[in-house]
Structure 1
């Protein structure tokens, strides 16, 4: 997958999620979840942009892990919203499907970056 493809998917995920957040009821709990979800859903796109300009492999891995944490937070928020029946279930399920794919991509990316980092260290010591 190309870097811009992933960035666009993250942006789309953030936009689609904020669209759902804006439709949630005005109750205290729904507003709280909407605020949390908006932050966690938009954060991966922003942090991924930072990761592209990382100062080191360690910095890159850290920023990618931040993206992953925010995606996992979004996953929990969406599940709570779904269980509370706050939104249209088909929209939420579609977002959850995209979220599962994004989480898988970031898990694999972090694993690959760690392996690459470890193999470079091992080659230096050989």
Structure 2
């Protein structure tokens, strides 16, 4: 069995945080709409990264990672909205936002490197 990549580990950890955030928001804050959106996009990041690892071609790999990139950016949007509407305090927000931003940068870097390697 192959060793997991850093991006797989980070996206899995982010998915767990997104799930726990959803639990907190739905139970404690009684917020169900934005938290569900965060749950969906936050868990989709890692799922699409996992799919990319099994891509049928480099183009398919880039496509799957591009979906993951969009889901990660969407997660950042929901986090910012939840923070701006006082559902998430600054501590919870910063933790999740920093993780998502780091993952987004890594995904973008992988996509860019893969595209450059295709041109060679």
TM-score, normalising length: structure 2: 0.90
Q: Contact 1:33–1:77 at 8 Å: present in 2 too? A: yes
In the alignment, the residues of structure 2 paired with residue 104 and residue 51 of structure 1 have an alpha-carbon distance, to the nearest angstrom, of 17
SS of corresponding position for 1:70: helix
Q: How far is the alpha carbon of 1:5 from its aligned partner? A: 2.4
Alignment of 1:1-126 (within 5 A): 3-24=4-25, 25-26=29-30, 30-119=31-120
Q: Contact 1:23–1:87 at 8 Å: present in 2 too? A: no
User: Runs in 1 of length 4+ with deviation above 3 angstroms?
Assistant: none
In the alignment, the residues of structure 2 paired with residue 103 and residue 48 of structure 1 have an alpha-carbon distance, to the nearest angstrom, of 12
| Structure of higher CA gyration radius | 1
CA deviation map 1:52-80 (0-9, x unaligned): 11000100000010110000000000000
Q: How far is the alpha carbon of 1:118 from its aligned partner? A: 1.7
Q: How far is the alpha carbon of 1:44 from its aligned partner? A: 1.2
In structure 1, stretches of 5+ residues that fail to align are 120-126
In the alignment, the residues of structure 1 paired with residue 37 and residue 19 of structure 2 have an alpha-carbon distance, to the nearest angstrom, of 11
In structure 2, stretches of 5+ residues that fail to align are none
